[in-house]
């Protein structure tokens, strides 16, 4: 790809006189087309010689301004070449965004983060703060001119192996790219950026297909539920997992569980309603009899332990139950939701139990888990149609 040529042009319209100054512009020539950018520098004819400002007290300052503009235009063109196409008509807008009140893109992101955090749950606020700490430390996208395809891809490659660990696509998107993308969209809405690299680069954001299978089948769950544990501690961990499965709560909500907040129905059963610690969304469920049995076993108070220890001991619980899966606390939530859906509970009800703001979230997470149920239902239909 050929590089456009740049040069300063003074008094292009021939309007300068001995007492009337005229403007210095940057001329960009590319593929037989020309584009002129104003520099804001106006001087008299005697003050412009050999492409430089002279015979003025502030000549050095003005020449520095011109050189900075030329450097910035060159940087924009280089970015366009990296992106694969050059549009000289876009250069002015990109230059304007670079110079926008001296504000850097990082400054803009920090301002927008404060707005986006307003009214959100503590966990969501911490995610914004964590991203901003990373973004400032990484530092490759500092100015508006740095918002390029190349730099977005560089960030993707950097976080993929950050701290010596391989990060999955879904985690990269959820913890890094989605924040940067939202800030770029805000900058576009504010007229500071014209082009969003995320429309042109292929950043994978779907969940790893393997993560969709992080649940126990009904048979495996019953096996774990009835298995004899070798120690009292492991029995408590198993019971906690079983209770979590029957309620579909995330660990944070499990830790905050308080049966006294429930509402007792005329038949004596209890409906529990609360708000998710992660999102602030309301969730509600009926405390099923097996879950109530566990609560009664521990006098109404769950045998809670830290998330780290819970996850560690769950691996041993699975082994003791003869289940070859690396259980974590979130498997209980997935298992409970999957069992409910496969048993015919409608998506809207399951979304309410999980505390999802819409069935779209529930469907995107669990739809693929229902393949076997769909197949079974079609087999039933096949038998009926064959009669």
Q: Which of 140, 175, 165, 142 lies closest to 154, judged by CA?
A: 140
**Full-prediction pTM beyond 0.85?**
no
pLDDT tens-digit profile of 31-85?
Answer: 999 999 998 899 999 999 999 999 988 889 899 889 989 998 998 899 888 888 8
Structure confidence at residue 100 (pLDDT): 55
Q: Note whether 355 and 273 are within 8 A (CB).
A: no
What is the pLDDT at residue 119?
81
Q: Mean per-residue pLDDT for 193-213?
A: 73
> Do 183 and 256 fall within a single domain?
no
CA-closest candidate to residue 47, choices 66, 28, 30: 66
Query: What's the confidence (pLDDT) of residue 202?
Result: 87
Q: State whether 74 and 166 are in the same domain.
A: no
Closest by CA to 171, choosing from 139, 133, 199, 211, is 211
pLDDT of 210 over the 50 cut: no
Residue 136's contacts (CB-CB under 8 Å, 6 or more residues apart) are: 106
Which residues are CB-neighbours of 189 under 8 A, at least 6 positions away?
none
pLDDT band, residue 93 (cuts 50/70/90): confident
**Same structural domain, 221 and 317:** yes
Bridge partners of 37, per DSSP, are 26
Whether residues 240 and 373 share a domain: the answer is yes
pLDDT for res 102: 62
Q: Please tell me which residue, 377 or 324, carries the higher pLDDT value.
A: 324
Each residue's pLDDT tens digit, 163-176: 888 888 888 998 99
Shared domain for 168 and 220, answered yes or no, is no
Number of domains in the chain: 3
Question: Are 219 and 329 contained in the same domain?
Answer: yes
The residue range of the domain holding 56 is: 5-98
- Here the tokens at position 187 are 């900058």
CATH of the domain at 155: 1.10.150
My answer on whether 191 and 132 are in the same domain is yes
C-beta separation of 87 from 80 below 8 A: yes
**What is the pLDDT averaged over residues 215-234?**
94
Segments in the chain forming alpha helices (H) = 59-83, 91-98, 105-117, 122-138, 149-160, 169-172, 178-189, 218-226, 232-247, 251-255, 289-297, 307-320, 329-342, 347-354, 359-366, 371-386
| Domain match, 377 and 334 both | yes
Q: What is the mean pLDDT of residues 199-227?
A: 79
* Domain end residue (candidates: 206, 237, 269): 206
Helix axes 122-138, 149-160, angle to 10 degrees: 110
């Amino acid at each position: 790809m050929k590089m456009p040529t740049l040069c300063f042009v003074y008094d292009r319209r021939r309007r300068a006189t001995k007492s009337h100054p005229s403007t210095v512009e940057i001329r960009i020539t590319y593929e037989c087309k020309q584009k002129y950018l104003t520099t804001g520098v106006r001087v008299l004819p005697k003050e412009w010689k050999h492409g430089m400002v002279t015979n003025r007290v502030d000549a050095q300052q003005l020449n520095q301004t011109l050189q900075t503009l030329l450097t910035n235009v060159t940087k924009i063109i280089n970015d366009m070449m990296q992106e694969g196409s050059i549009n000289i008509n876009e250069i002015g807008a990109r230059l304007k965004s670079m110079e926008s009140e001296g504000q850097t893109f990082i400054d803009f992101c920090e301002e927008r983060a404060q707005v986006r955090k307003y009214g959100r749950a503590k966990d969501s606020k911490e995610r914004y703060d964590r991203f901003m700490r990373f973004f400032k430390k990484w530092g490759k996208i500092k100015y508006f001119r740095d918002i390029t395809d190349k730099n977005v891809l560089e960030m993707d490659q950097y976080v993929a192996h950050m701290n010596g660990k391989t990060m999955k696509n879904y985690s990269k998107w959820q913890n890094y790219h989605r924040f940067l993308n939202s800030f770029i969209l805000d900058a576009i809405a504010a007229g500071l950026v014209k082009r969003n690299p995320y429309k042109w680069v292929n950043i994978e954001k779907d969940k790893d297909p393997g993560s969709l299978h992080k649940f126990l089948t009904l048979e495996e769950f019953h096996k774990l539920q009835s298995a004899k544990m070798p120690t009292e501690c492991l029995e408590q961990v198993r019971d906690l997992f079983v209770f979590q499965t029957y309620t579909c709560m995330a660990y944070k909500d499990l830790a905050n569980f308080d049966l006294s907040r429930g509402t007792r129905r005329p038949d004596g059963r209890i409906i529990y309603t609360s708000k998710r610690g992660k999102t602030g969304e309301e969730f509600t469920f009926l405390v099923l009899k097996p879950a109530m049995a566990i609560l009664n076993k521990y006098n109404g108070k769950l045998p809670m332990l830290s998330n780290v220890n819970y996850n560690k001991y769950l691996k041993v619980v699975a082994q003791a139950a003869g289940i070859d899966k690396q259980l974590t606390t979130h498997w209980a939530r997935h298992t409970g939701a999957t069992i409910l859906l496969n048993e015919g509970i409608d998506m809207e009800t399951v979304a309410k139990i999980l505390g999802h703001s819409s069935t779209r979230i529930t469907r995107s997470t669990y739809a693929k888990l229902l393949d076997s149920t769909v197949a079974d239902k079609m087999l039933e239909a096949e038998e009926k149609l064959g009669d």
